[in-house]
Amino acid sequence: MSSFMQAVIREEIPREHTTYDITEFNHMFETTLLQSRDNQEEEEYDWSEKCDVAEELENKDKEISNLSETIAKQDETIAQLNSEIKRLMPEKKIEKDVESSYVKCQSM
């Protein structure tokens, strides 16, 4: 916008003493309108992108939570299986089996 137009708008120059080109005014108005639309589209795009990222992060959090639960259940199952193994096979028998397996391997 020209400084002359700004002065007219701010009413520093009385309107009756001015003649200004309507084309310049239309151009100024269209430019302002287009800039406003561009800014709005960029803002909408930014919000859309931010929403997508937030949704993706939320999904990843759920996935991590599910995996954590699965790991906890597997740890519990492993602990139960280990205690069952110890109950079914006394430690000495395990040692003997290991020793006999070691001896067999060496003799081969």
Residue 11, token pair as written in the block: 């009413």
* Residues 5 and 32: beta-carbon distance below 8 Å: no
Long-range contact set of residues 15-19: C-beta below 8 Å, sequence gap at least 24: none
Residue 49 belongs to domain spanning: 3-107
Amino acid (1-letter code) at residue 106: Q
> Which residue is it, tokens 């589209």?
41
pLDDT given at position 62: 92
pLDDT given at position 93: 60
Per DSSP, helices labelled H in 1-108 are 3-9, 22-88, 91-107
Question: Which of 16-20, 40-44, 76-80, 93-97 tops mean pLDDT?
Answer: 76-80
Question: Which of 1-5, 16-20, 54-58, 66-70 tops mean pLDDT?
Answer: 66-70
pLDDT given at position 95: 63
When divided into structural domains, the chain yields a total of 1
Q: What does the pLDDT look like over 31-51, one tens digit per residue?
A: 777 777 777 777 666 677 778
Percent of the chain with pLDDT over 90: 20
pLDDT given at position 68: 93
Q: What does the pLDDT look like over 66-80, one tens digit per residue?
A: 999 999 999 999 999
pLDDT surpasses 80 at 91: no
What is the distance between the alpha carbons of residues 45 and 58, in angstroms, rounded to a whole number? 20
Residue 59, token pair as written in the block: 């999904």
